[in-house]
Amino acid sequence: MKLVVAVVQDKDAGRLIEELVDRGYRATKLASTGGFLKEGNTTLLVGAEDPQVDEVVAIIKRVCRPREQVVTPLGPIGGAVDTYVPYPVEVIVGGATIFVLNVERFEHV
Ligand code: 2BA
C-alpha cells in the first residue's frame, strides 16, 4: 500500500476530492500553508493500493493546473530597509506537489 500526499491549490481541492471519491478512493483534506508564499493551500492524503497509485496521480495531474502568482518579497530581516527595493516576482504555483510514500502498516478499525 502507498500513501499519496499531494499539496494542491485551494481552488482545485474541492473538485479533486470529488473526482477521487467518485472513483472510490478515500481521501483526507488538510488545511496547509506554503512555506514560500505563506498562503493557504491544501494537502490531501490518499491511501491506495499499489496498482491504483498511477490512477490517483493521473487524476491529480488532470484536475490541478499551474497558475501564475505575483509575490512581493519582504525585505531581509535585520537588513538595511532604506536600500531595499521590493520588486514583484512571478512564480508558477502548482498544479500539484506529489509524494508517494510506502505504507509499512495499515489498519482500519
Ligand atoms: P510555497 O512554498 O508557498 O511555494 C509556492 C510557489 O513558490 C512554488 O510552487 C514555487 O513556484 C515558488 N517557490 C517556492 N519556494 C521557492 C524558492 N525558494 N525560490 C523561488 N521560488 C520558490 P510549487 O513548487 O508548485 O509549490 C507549491 C506548494 O507545494 C508550496 O507552496 C509548498 O506548500 C508545497 N511544496 C512544494 N515543494 C515542496 C517540497 N519539496 N516539500 C514540501 N512541500 C512542498
Domains and CATH numbers, the chain: 2-66+95-102 (3.30.70.120)
pLDDT of res. 81: 63
pLDDT of res. 43: 98
Q: How far apart are CA 35 and CA 27, in angstroms?
A: 23
pLDDT of res. 85: 74
Atom 30 of ligand 1, nearest CA residue = 34
Atom 17 of ligand 1, nearest CA residue = 36
Separation of CA 34 and ligand 1 centre (Å): 6
Amino acid at 24: G
Give residue-wise pLDDT tens across range 1-47: 999 999 999 999 999 999 999 999 999 999 999 999 999 999 999 99
Nearest C-alpha neighbor of 17 from the set 52, 50, 45: 45
pLDDT of residue 92 exceeding 80 = yes
Separation of CA 35 and ligand 1 centre (Å): 7
**Could you identify the atom of ligand 1 that is nearest to the CA of residue 39?**
3
> What pTM does this model have?
0.90
The CA-atom distances, in angstroms, between 98 and each of 21, 35, 69 are: 18, 16, 20
Cβ-defined contacts of 53-59 (< 8 Å, 24+)? 53/2, 53/4, 53/100, 55/23, 56/4, 56/20, 56/25, 57/4, 57/98, 57/100, 59/16, 59/19, 59/20, 59/23
pLDDT of res. 71: 85
Would you say the CB of residue 87 lies under 6 angstroms from ligand 1? no
